[in-house]
């Protein structure tokens, strides 16, 4: 074996070890707190009218923390390790896989910038990570949604067995996946974009979907942030709730809950008494009890109304408590800093809306050469921040790099906007799927988060393509050995800029209309 082949194998083995270490770190440290936070978020999302009550699930309880029994029979039983539900193990594995592969992509770019490792080794692992990430986002995660939903047990607290993983219900849940794949295949590749391989064409089509999705998330987050920190722009400032108002709302909610519990108890008693009654003659058996059915129907309608009232009163109480907590926090030193930071970021969100509108009305001129970026890719605020950063005494930033840094700052702001809205998006996913288990809801949220993370980071790489120069030429690598620059395998972002701006403005307009109508209704 030659020295170059040995070096190739050693470097490749090192990158495989790094990939495994990232996967282990995600499962061992990141998911420890993230999964429990998603369980709490799922429990809040389930408290909606018509949504079943969150039930006990074996997957959400750490069995090793339960007290041991003092009986003799239990003493002889072995301590069995806790077995995770199928949906929990699947979602954790896929999230860690997407996390490790996206980190590997950025690690390979860092190695390229530092000119470390062989270009062929970097390219091989780049293609491995890119292929695994694309297959996970397009095929595996949508299929996992179908598997998790089709195997969600109808009996509370019962986990699906391995024999029921492939069930007849799976075919019904596979229909959206098939439609998604068919739709993805019909998405046209933007004109002028090269897509020679299957991976490049799939990545280009997925980038179209990802750009629209990220634009929608950004528009929703921009309006949501501006609405929260600038209420004077949307409605008159309301006074902070007092302790008496909170206590009054709590007592009213308790009365409604007491009435609801009593009506539910009466309905169960009525149904039990009807089942225990034995008809005395054939006429009673032939004709239904119209009086009993009418009474049960009336009581059920009353319970439905009380449930809706309880939900609205619970939301109003939560809003009062949140406003009260925000008022107390805003009086602290950290609260004042947070509010001023939120207002400044809201100004950027409002500016970003107008900038997207200008970009659609006055589109940028295309670059004169392939791979060349225009000078107006970043917004003015990001450009000013990059310019101020270049004048700091401990920062040495050439003037020709200001545009590059400004694009990265703008991309970071978009990421913050998306993070500000992802919590409500995940809660909406759990509410839309009407999950009845905290751990099941957390698993679905984790799958959604893995898909969003993969799409966002792929879009980030595409936007960073023009921010980094190609690696320096190496005399030990021939020109015909393959592509050396990793960014050359990605499509150019110039084809997706107007698509992002359009989705951004559409989501911003719809969110503003919904928030305005919601404020009018609550008033």
Whether 267 and 181 map to the same domain: the answer is no
Whether 171 and 261 map to the same domain: the answer is no
C-beta of residue 350 within 8 angstroms of C-beta of residue 226: yes
Whether 424 and 314 map to the same domain: the answer is no
**Cα 147 from chain centroid?**
19
pLDDT attached to residue 364? 64
User: What's the CA gap between 227 and 233, in Å, rounded?
Assistant: 8
- 302 located within any domain: yes
User: What's the CA gap between 302 and 311, in Å, rounded?
Assistant: 14
C-beta of residue 241 within 8 angstroms of C-beta of residue 361: no
- 149 located within any domain: yes
Whether 405 and 319 map to the same domain: the answer is no
pLDDT digits (tens, 9 = 90+) for 40-67: 666 555 555 444 444 434 444 444 344 4
Whether 180 and 272 map to the same domain: the answer is no
User: What's the CA gap between 176 and 145, in Å, rounded?
Assistant: 10
Going 229 to 231 to 237 to 243, the CA torsion angle's sign is negative
Whether 304 and 417 map to the same domain: the answer is no
DSSP 373-438: PPTTSS-HHHHHHHHHHHTSTT----GGGHHHHHHHHHHHHHHHHHHHHHHHHHHHHHHHHT--BH
C-beta of residue 98 within 8 angstroms of C-beta of residue 450: yes
pLDDT attached to residue 167? 60
Q: Provide the domain count of the chain.
A: 2
- 501 located within any domain: no
pLDDT attached to residue 58? 42
Asked which of 330, 358, 389 is the last residue of a domain, the reply is: 330
Q: Could you tell me the residue range of the domain that residue 321 belongs to?
A: 243-330
**Cα 50 from chain centroid?**
24
Going 271 to 276 to 277 to 278, the CA torsion angle's sign is positive
DSSP 251-275: HHHHHHHHHHHHHHHHHHHHHHHHH
User: What's the CA gap between 174 and 145, in Å, rounded?
Assistant: 9
User: What's the CA gap between 392 and 229, in Å, rounded?
Assistant: 30
Asked which of 330, 360, 394 is the last residue of a domain, the reply is: 330
C-beta of residue 101 within 8 angstroms of C-beta of residue 133: yes
Report the Cα–Cα distance between both ends of the chain, in Å, rounded. 78
Whether 161 and 107 map to the same domain: the answer is yes
Buried residues in 300-332 as b, exposed as e (16+ CB within 10 A): eeebeebbebbbebbeebeebeebbeeeeeeee
Residues of the chain with pLDDT under 70: 1-2, 39-84, 151-173, 190-196, 231-239, 276-294, 364-378, 427-438, 465-484, 493-495, 522-523
C-beta of residue 215 within 8 angstroms of C-beta of residue 500: yes
User: What's the CA gap between 114 and 304, in Å, rounded?
Assistant: 64
Residue 172 DSSP label: H
Whether 319 and 380 map to the same domain: the answer is no
The count of C-alpha atoms lying within 13 angstroms of the C-alpha of 58, restricted to the half-sphere facing its C-beta, is 14
Whether 323 and 375 map to the same domain: the answer is no
φ, ψ at 130 (rounded to 5°):
-65, -40
C-beta of residue 382 within 8 angstroms of C-beta of residue 348: no
């Amino acid at each position: 074996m030659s020295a170059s082949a040995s070096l190739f194998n050693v470097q490749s083995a090192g990158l495989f070890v790094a990939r495994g270490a990232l996967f282990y770190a995600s499962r061992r440290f990141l998911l420890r707190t993230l999964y429990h936070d998603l369980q709490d978020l799922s429990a809040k999302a389930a408290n909606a009218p018509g949504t079943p009550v969150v039930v006990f699930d074996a997957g959400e309880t750490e069995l090793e923390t339960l007290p041991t029994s003092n009986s003799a029979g239990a003493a002889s039983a072995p301590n069995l390790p806790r077995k995770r539900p199928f949906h929990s193990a699947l979602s954790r594995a896929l999230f860690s896989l997407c996390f490790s592969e996206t980190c590997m992509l950025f690690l390979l770019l860092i190695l390229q910038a530092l000119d470390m490792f062989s270009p062929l080794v970097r390219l091989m692992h780049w293609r491995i990570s890119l292929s695994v990430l694309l297959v996970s986002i397009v095929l595996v995660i949508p299929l996992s949604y179908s598997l998790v939903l089709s195997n969600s047990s109808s009996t509370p607290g019962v986990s699906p067995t391995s024999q029921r993983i492939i069930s007849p219900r799976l075919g019904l849940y596979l229909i959206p996946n098939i439609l998604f794949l068919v739709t993805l295949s019909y998405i046209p590749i933007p004109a002028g974009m090269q897509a020679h391989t299957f991976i490049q064409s799939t990545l280009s089509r997925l980038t179209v979907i990802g750009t629209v999705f990220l634009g929608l998330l950004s528009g929703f987050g921009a309006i949501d942030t501006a609405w929260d920190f600038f209420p004077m722009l949307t409605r008159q400032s309301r006074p902070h709730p007092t302790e008496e108002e909170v206590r009054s709302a709590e007592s009213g909610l308790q009365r409604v809950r007491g009435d609801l519990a009593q009506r539910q108890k009466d309905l169960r008693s009525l149904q039990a008494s009807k089942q225990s009654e034995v008809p005395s003659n054939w006429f009673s058996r032939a004709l239904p009890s119209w009086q009993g059915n009418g009474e049960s129907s009336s009581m059920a309608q009353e319970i439905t109304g009380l449930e809706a009232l309880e939900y609205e009163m619970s939301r109003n109480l939560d809003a009062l408590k949140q406003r009260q907590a925000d008022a107390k926090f805003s009086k602290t030193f950290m609260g004042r800093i947070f509010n001023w930071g939120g207002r400044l970021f809201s100004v950027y969100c409002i500016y970003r809306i107008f900038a997207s509108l200008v970009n659609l009305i006055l589109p940028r001129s295309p670059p004169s050469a392939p791979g060349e970026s225009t000078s107006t890719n970043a917004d003015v605020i990001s450009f000013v921040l990059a310019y101020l950063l270049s004048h700091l005494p401990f920062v040495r930033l050439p003037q020709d790099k200001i545009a590059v840094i400004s694009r990265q700052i703008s991309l970071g702001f978009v990421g913050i906007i998306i993070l500000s809205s992802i919590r409500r998006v995940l809660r909406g996913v759990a509410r839309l799927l009407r999950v009845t288990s905290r751990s099941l809801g957390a698993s679905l949220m984790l799958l959604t988060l893995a898909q969003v993370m993969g799409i966002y980071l792929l879009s980030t790489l595409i936007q960073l393509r023009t921010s980094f120069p190609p690696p320096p030429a190496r005399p030990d690598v021939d020109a015909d050995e393959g592509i050396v620059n990793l960014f050359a395998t990605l499509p150019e972002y110039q084809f997706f800029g107007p698509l992002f701006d359009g989705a951004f403005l559409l989501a911003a307009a719809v969110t503003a209309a919904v928030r305005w109508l919601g404020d009018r209704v609550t008033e």
